[in-house]
Amino acid sequence: MTSTSPHLVTRALRRLPIAAGPALLLLSACADERQDIFTPQGDSAEKINRLQVPVFGIAGLVGVLVLGGILVLMRQGSRRHNDAEIDPVQLEGNFKLEIGWTIAPAVLLAVVAVFTVATLLDLDDVDAAPPPELGEMEISVYGHQWWWSYEYEMNPSDTSPENTPEIVTANDLVIPAGVPIRLNIRSRDVIHSFWIPSLAGTRDAVPGRSHDLVIQADEPGVYDGQCKEFCGLSHANMKQRVVALSMPEFQTWLEQQQETQPLLEEGDVGYEGQQTFLAQCSTCHQINGLENADGEPIVVEGGAAVVSRYAPNLTHLMTRGVFAGALFDLWTTDEDGRPVVDRAQLEAWIRDPAAIKPMYDVVPEGELPRGMPDLGLSEDQIDQVIDYLLTLHPGATEGPPIQTAGAQD
């Protein structure tokens, strides 16, 4: 029978953190997340990745050398109980060494700076023209507390007041795959930052300004993003998605989204919900096609709109994949694997929005609310409104949005 020396156990315990540290660092990288800057799926993201990988590699090598040197010096220069009177070897005044560790980092940083500036200038080139199939189409991206809206203009050269965006949607930014698309990034309340890591870098959305950003998805798919600028209470829940479709699918989507929503008549499925929507929800939300006899959109007059005076346009809501600032999936599957609307999640959102997405519950006197308010609807009214929302799809389609296959699905 053998016994373990207490001295050996003590030495092993002292060395455990040294061995565990690198292992923990490696384990921290073992994540299969949908927002990943190291899996570029577009031209801009690829340029960023070509810059950052060598930089991270060099930084890691420098870190290992510095930490390794520190550990060696700690080992060599440590005092033991039997040589307390002996001073370790001193390196002070080693002119060559000091010059070396000053010049080497300076040269290294200069090289990195050259490639960084070149990449930034390349990314700042935002003169991408839309593909010929799309004419003059422009897409404007608007940040709100706490969601994103997207406006598609088919004839942006027409600056007359009567020319309004043909498509206004939210949460899902739909683009064609394989071609560069220029976005006009804007804000309607506070500063936000638009970021789809696998497609491009970030661009701030600043009130009163427009910043251009070019993105490209190499393949059809769904690509997740996140607001990158702190913008208030629910900043962490301000997500976004890019849905990239093949060009034929995208052109079909454009045509369908420009269809107006028919006004339901008494006896139609969802009619009661439509009336509740008109009475309670149309202060902020618009549905293209709900118009008065004079052609003006039906809105509640005199109501208190949200602070940005905008809420998601719900036209063809059922063609989207997410809602509530892209925080929740709109569609799920039933027991047979068939796609169905997640009615329970929709009910929870309408019943008490602040309970599942932090928002300002108390609105100071004289100010407008931020985020989705609790309208105090009864359970019957909630059921009726959802029945109506289920009818919000183009006339020729019914069911989930176009399914895409991509690296992030």
Q: Which domains does the chain have, with CATH numbers?
A: 271-360+369-389 (2.60.40.420)
Residue 407 binned pLDDT confidence (cut-offs 50, 70, 90): very low
- Residue 198 phi/psi, 5-degree rounding, is -80, -5
C-alpha to C-alpha distance for 371 and 233, rounded to whole angstroms = 10
In this structure, are residues 209 and 329 in contact, taking their beta carbons and an 8 Å threshold? no
Residues 36-63 have a mean pLDDT of 86
Confidence of residue 399 (pLDDT cuts 50, 70, 90): low
Model confidence band, residue 55 (pLDDT cutoffs 50, 70, 90): confident
Lowest mean pLDDT among 4-13, 164-173, 177-186, 376-385: 4-13
- How many helices (H) and strands (E) are present in the chain, helices listed first? 8, 14
The string of pLDDT tens digits covering residues 1-12 is: 455 566 666 666
Sign of CA dihedral 206, 210, 212, 218: positive
Kindly write down the DSSP assignment for every residue of 309-344, as one continuous string.
Answer: S-----TTGGG-SEETTTTEESEEE-TTS-EEE-HH
Write down the pLDDT at residue 7.
Answer: 65
Average pLDDT over residues 248-256: 91
DSSP of 117-128: HHHHHHHT---P
Instruction: Give the per-residue pLDDT at 199.
Output: 92
* Residue 287, pLDDT score: 87
pLDDT at 22 over 60: yes
CA distance 187 to 206: 5
Instruction: Yes or no: say if 389 and 273 are a contact pair by the CB < 8 Å rule.
Output: yes
Select the more confidently predicted residue: 96 or 206: 206
pLDDT at 305 over 50: no
The predicted pLDDT at position 294 comes to: 46
